[in-house]
């Protein structure tokens, strides 16, 4: 549970902070009191996106927007606490559920023949169902014996732009559906698509630590995307 409306967070700072920071304090205290393990999800938006190359868990956070700031504050609270905690940073979350980029693209793809999509922001799209499966299996296995407090990047290996992701979505969707209207997808720059919150241009996260320390990894993007599109 989190406040994830990135643009609205810029005008609803108190509400965003209450859920993403204050509520986390209660969870930390509860986990410490009852000696419970805490698994917390964070975001690529704790980084400003200026770095060249992949971000590692050792990189200093520098949020580009208020949503990212609240998530960074929560990370600090957790890591400075006595809670047995693991923080998974995930990015560009999508699925057949809720509101997300995948569902927005499919909706727009049914309505318009031409779409303009940002091409200079790069990251790793994460399938929410696969994230849940991987973490659930980890919880229910003996691998929790290697529960080591820390921050881990849990993302698939593919790194693409929103423009490339949109094209992949339409390609995957058309394998099982025939109701798309879109014919042309044009790349545009972030500067041409104004939003209330600034997004990092580079959201590339290195996921080697999660694989090497916890033996956790997400499945290939194309496999996950096909699953999600079939479920729509």
Which sequence positions are flagged as catalytic? Answer: 67
> What SS3 state is found at 122?
strand
Task: Give long-range contacts, CB 8 A cutoff, 24+ apart: 186-189.
Answer: 186/114, 186/115, 186/116, 186/117, 187/116, 187/117, 187/118, 187/119, 187/161, 187/163, 188/116, 188/117, 188/118, 188/119, 188/163, 189/118, 189/119, 189/120
Distance, in Å, from the CA atom of 54 to the CA atom of 49, rounded to the nearest integer, reads: 10
Rounded (10°) CA dihedral 26, 15, 50, 134: 50
Rounded (10°) CA dihedral 50, 25, 128, 7: -50
Output the DSSP codes for 181-197.
---EEEEE-GGGS--SS
Start-to-end CA distance of the chain, whole Å, equals: 23
Count of positions (residues) in the chain: 232
């Amino acid at each position: 549970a989190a406040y994830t409306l990135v643009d609205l967070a810029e005008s609803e700072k108190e509400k965003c902070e209450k859920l993403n920071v204050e509520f986390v304090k209660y969870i930390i205290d509860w986990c410490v009191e009852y000696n419970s393990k805490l698994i917390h999800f964070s975001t690529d938006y704790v980084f400003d996106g200026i770095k060249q190359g992949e971000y590692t868990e050792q990189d200093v956070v520098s949020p580009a927007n208020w949503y990212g700031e609240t998530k960074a504050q929560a990370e600090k609270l957790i890591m400075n606490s006595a809670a047995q905690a693991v923080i998974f940073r995930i990015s560009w979350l999508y699925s057949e559920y809720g509101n997300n980029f995948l569902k927005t693209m499919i909706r727009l793809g049914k309505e318009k023949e031409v779409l303009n999509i940002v091409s200079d922001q790069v990251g790793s799209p994460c399938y929410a169902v696969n994230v849940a499966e991987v973490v659930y299996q980890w919880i229910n296995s003996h691998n929790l014996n290697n529960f080591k407090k820390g921050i881990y990047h849990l993302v698939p290996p593919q790194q693409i732009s929103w423009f490339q992701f949109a094209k992949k979505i339409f390609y995957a969707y058309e394998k099982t559906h025939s109701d798309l209207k879109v014919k042309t997808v044009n790349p545009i720059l972030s500067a041409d698509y104004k939003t209330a919150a600034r997004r990092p241009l580079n959201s590339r996260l290195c996921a080697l630590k999660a694989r090497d320390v916890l033996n956790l990894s997400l499945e290939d993007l194309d496999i996950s995307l096909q699953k999600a599109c079939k479920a729509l």
